Amino acid sequence: MTTKAKAIIQLRLKSEKQLATLLDSLNPEAKGTISRRARAKLEKDGLNLTLMVEAEDEVALRSTLNAYLRWVNSTLNVLEAIAQADSEP
């Protein structure tokens, strides 16, 4: 794959639980191939999660970023809903 487009996104999470859950959720996707035209890599540093995406073109970069960011948002929403349910009497 010839890389023409790159993006690095760093997310600062509130807790180790959020970070671990996101890594568990996203690693299978990052280790597999979401697209023949793009690849993603995840790294953690403290409470920071870094998403690095390389793609053949801007369209593949955008679609890959959108997919990962939707997965991150969905996972964090589920964790928040669970936390709220646990705190209700």
Would you give per-residue pLDDT tens digits along the chain (89 residues)?
Answer: 788 999 999 999 999 999 999 999 999 988 886 678 999 999 999 999 999 999 999 999 999 999 999 999 999 999 999 999 988 87
> In sequence order, which residues have a C-beta less than 8 Å from that of residue 55 and are 6 or more positions away?
3, 4, 5, 6, 35, 37, 38, 39, 61, 64
CATH code of 74's domain:
3.30.310.50
Q: What is the dihedral of CA 84, 26, 29, 31, to 10 degrees?
A: -160
Residue 47 belongs to what domain range? 5-87
**How many domains are there within the chain?**
1
**Region of 66 on the Ramachandran plot (φ > 0 left; ψ -120 to 50 alpha; else beta):** alpha
> Do 51 and 68 contact (CB within 8 A), yes or no?
yes
Prediction pTM value: 0.88
